Amino acid sequence: MTALTSQEVHEAWTALTQDVRTAVLLTMRHGRPFGSHVPYVFGSDWTSAYLHLSRLALHTQHLLTDPHVSLFIAEPDGPGKNPLALRRMNLQGEAAILPPDASSYNAIKAHYLARFPQAEMMFGFSDFALWELRLEDTHFVLGFGQAFVSTAATPSRWVHQQVDRPPVRFT
């Protein structure tokens, strides 16, 4: 299997996030993970994602208590696909409300509405807010033997995942 370059992995990330418009947002509820299906947009790279969430939703209540999150994006399964080889990405970080007076707010709102024009009405509802996910690290699987990791310190550098395994001993 040929090793992929960081540029090739980035291109695969771009393709996945263009193809899949919703993710599973994992928040903490009573010390346990809680998953919600959410639409998302990314900033200039994978280190920032934006969600438009209602304060009435359980996941928002969780974020107000504990901002730690994971965002999981996966290629849809289908006939003829091997579900164990689907492209998928798991990102971890923290969430915070993006205030309407933030310098980036209008550009992010426009970016979000370009992808989800049907959400425009919800921007007028007082219980909705834009949330910024400040993502620190990611694990991206492109298929068997093709798992990559990256960190916010070097977001364009994708490193093939190495699994530390003890040596196998045959007796």
- DSSP assigned state of 64: H
How many domains would you assign to the chain?
A: 1
Q: Is residue 171 part of a domain?
A: no
pTM, to two decimals: 0.91
> 104 Cβ partners below 8 Å, 6+ apart?
98
Distances (CA, A) of 12 to 4, 30, 109, 140, 156: 10, 35, 25, 9, 12
Q: Which residues pair with 112 in a beta bridge?
A: none
CATH code for the domain of 59: 2.30.110.10
- For 169, left (φ over 0), alpha (ψ -120 to 50), or beta? beta
In the beta sheet, which residues pair with residue 159? 149
Per the domain annotation, does 170 fall within a domain?
no
In a domain, 84, yes or no: yes
C-alpha dihedral over 9, 14, 104, 129, to 10 degrees?
-110
Tens digit of each residue's pLDDT (9 = 90 or more) over 34-85: 999 999 999 999 999 999 999 999 999 999 999 999 999 999 999 999 999 9
Q: What pLDDT digit, counting tens, does each position of 73-117 carry?
A: 999 999 999 999 999 999 999 999 999 999 999 999 999 999 999
